[in-house]
Structures are given as C-alpha cells and as structure tokens.
C-alpha cells in the first residue's frame, strides 16, 4: 500500500517515531548541509578578498611603472658624468636664466611630473601598507594559518615536522564533524607545557557514545572503519564508554598507541578549536591534501 493511500486511510495517525539510527543520520545530513552552506559563504568572502588584493597589486604595478618612467627621465640629465653639487648649480643656473617659451613649457612639465611622482610615491607606500595589513591583519588571524606538527600522535597521516595550513574560518559558521583533523589549544597545560597547540582527529561530537575495545573504536555502539590508523604500531587499549558533553568534541590521534588525546585529558571545548587542517605544504615531496 502506497504512502499516500495510507495517509488517506489514516488521516489522523501521527508519524511513527524515528529510530535512534534514523535520527542520527538526519542530524548528520543537517550538519553536512550547514557545513556546505558555510563553506560556500567562506569561499565567496575569500574570493572577494583575493579580488581586492588583485586590485591592490595591480595598482602597485602601475605605481612601479611610473617610478621606472621617472628614472628614465632623470637619465636624460646624465647625472653619472657630473657631481650632485654641479648638477644642482646647473639646474639653479637654468632656473635663473631667461627662459624661452619652449624652456618654460619644459619647466612646467618637469614641475608637473615632480608633483605627480610625489603623489604616486605616496599612493605606492599607502598601497603597500594596505596590502601588508590585509595579509597579516586579516588573512592570518582570521582565515588561514600555518602550523607545525609537534609529535608522532598523527602518524602516518602527519609526520613530525610536517607543516600544514589550517582553515580558521570554517568553524565560525559550522560545527566540527567526525573525521575532521583539527588544530586546537590543549586543555591539559600541565602535560603540554612546551607546545600547547595540538592536532588530532575528531572521532565523536556532542551526544556520541565513545568506547574503545581492544583498540577498536565504537561510536554509538557501531565499530568504525578507520583506514588511516598506524598499522605498524597497533593499539590494544580499552576506554569508556563515555558520552561527549554538549559544546565539546572527542579527539584522538591516528597513532593510537602513542597519542595523548581525549582518552587522557577528556573532550575538547569548541572554543579551544583553532581551525581545520586541510593542506600540507612541507615537505615538498608530501605536499597536498590529506
């Protein structure tokens, strides 16, 4: 019997309650949709920023062209053959001597060029200042930032000394999801005194039941297929079960047998998250997404 016919037969009957798995899948779809929307907004803003930077550097190029033209005109005076003092005396003598119409026109042209060059130089300095302020005042603090991998907790995905770029903008509009590799501030300052910035993988979000049995991760009672783990050093530990509180995420390293993570210092608050690592730019032989 079709769904429409059932509704006609039982118009007053409420919908059957959803199972826990269906509700979890529905939440996952909603999170994925919100994340895609936030990424679309992020890239739209990023495109606008890049367009502004392109206009700034185009203006910078024009100022450099004007500067080159100025030096080309100065070359006509051939200052290499005479000293600065002699050049000044020659220019002063030319200014004091009676001028023909042609010389007056050339003098006015030189004065106009000097004013234009000074204004162009001022605009060039302002343009460079604005470009530097945009890059270091907006892009680095709010959009992207580079981080170095401090430990072996993410082997083999990330090695010690790898340098990655983290998107610091994404979690302003979306919540973390399972599988995200996140840079965050440690909640255990006593344990991580040398470097309080860590990088781990999200294995559980708020409301998830986390348990580890003989090295196997179970989320909400379901075993997880984790192909990214370090097979050379298998984990045989057990943990939990525990439920991830609201406003927190459960983080674990890919090198489970050698990782200090949420199994030790507990779930990480969302306000400790710095950004999602998504691109490795060093070493060159391993450059790319992960």
Kindly list the catalytic residues: 153, 200
Residue 144 near residue 167 (C-beta atoms within 8 A): yes
Q: Compute the distance between CA of residue 152 and CA of residue 157 in angstroms, rounded to an integer.
A: 10
Q: Compute the distance between CA of residue 25 and CA of residue 219 in angstroms, rounded to an integer.
A: 13
**DSSP state letters, 17-61:** PPPHHHHHHHHHHHHHHHHHHHHHHHHHHHHHHHHHHHHHHHHHH
- Residue written as tokens 């998830």? 208
Q: Compute the distance between CA of residue 140 and CA of residue 134 in angstroms, rounded to an integer.
A: 9
- Residue written as tokens 């999801």? 177
User: In the numeric block, which tokens belong to residue 113?
Assistant: 């060029």
Q: Compute the distance between CA of residue 175 and CA of residue 157 in angstroms, rounded to an integer.
A: 23
CA-closest candidate to residue 111, choices 134, 84, 131, 91: 91
Q: Compute the distance between CA of residue 236 and CA of residue 4 in angstroms, rounded to an integer.
A: 52
Q: Compute the distance between CA of residue 203 and CA of residue 200 in angstroms, rounded to an integer.
A: 9
Residue 226 near residue 174 (C-beta atoms within 8 A): no
Residue 261 near residue 152 (C-beta atoms within 8 A): no
């Amino acid at each position: 019997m079709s769904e429409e016919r059932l509704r006609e037969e039982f118009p007053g009957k409420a919908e059957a309650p959803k199972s826990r798995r269906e509700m979890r899948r529905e939440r996952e779809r909603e999170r994925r949709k919100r994340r895609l929307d936030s990424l679309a907004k992020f890239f739209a803003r990023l495109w606008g920023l890049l367009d502004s930077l392109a206009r700034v550097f185009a203006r910078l190029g024009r100022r450099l062209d004007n500067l080159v033209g100025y030096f080309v005109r100065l070359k006509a005076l051939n200052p290499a053959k005479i000293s600065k003092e002699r050049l000044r005396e020659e220019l002063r003598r030319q200014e004091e001597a009676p001028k023909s119409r042609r010389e007056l026109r050339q003098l006015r042209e030189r004065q106009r060029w000097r004013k234009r060059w000074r204004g162009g130089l001022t605009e060039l300095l302002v343009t460079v200042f604005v470009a530097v302020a945009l890059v270091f005042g907006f892009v680095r603090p709010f959009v992207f930032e580079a981080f170095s991998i401090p430990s072996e907790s993410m082997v083999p995905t990330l090695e010690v000394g790898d340098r990655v770029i983290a998107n610091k903008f994404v979690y302003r509009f979306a919540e973390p999801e399972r599988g995200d590799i996140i840079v965050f501030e440690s909640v255990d300052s006593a344990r991580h005194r040398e470097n309080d910035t860590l990088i781990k993988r999200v294995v559980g979000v708020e409301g998830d039941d986390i348990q580890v049995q003989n090295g196997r991760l179970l989320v909400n009672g379901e075993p997880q297929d984790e192909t990214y783990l370090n097979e050379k050093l298998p984990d045989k530990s057990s943990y939990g079960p525990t439920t991830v509180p609201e406003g927190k995420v459960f983080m674990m390293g890919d090198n489970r047998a050698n990782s200090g993570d949420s199994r030790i210092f507990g779930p990480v608050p969302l306000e400790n998250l710095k950004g999602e690592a998504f691109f490795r730019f060093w070493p060159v032989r391993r450059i790319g997404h992960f």
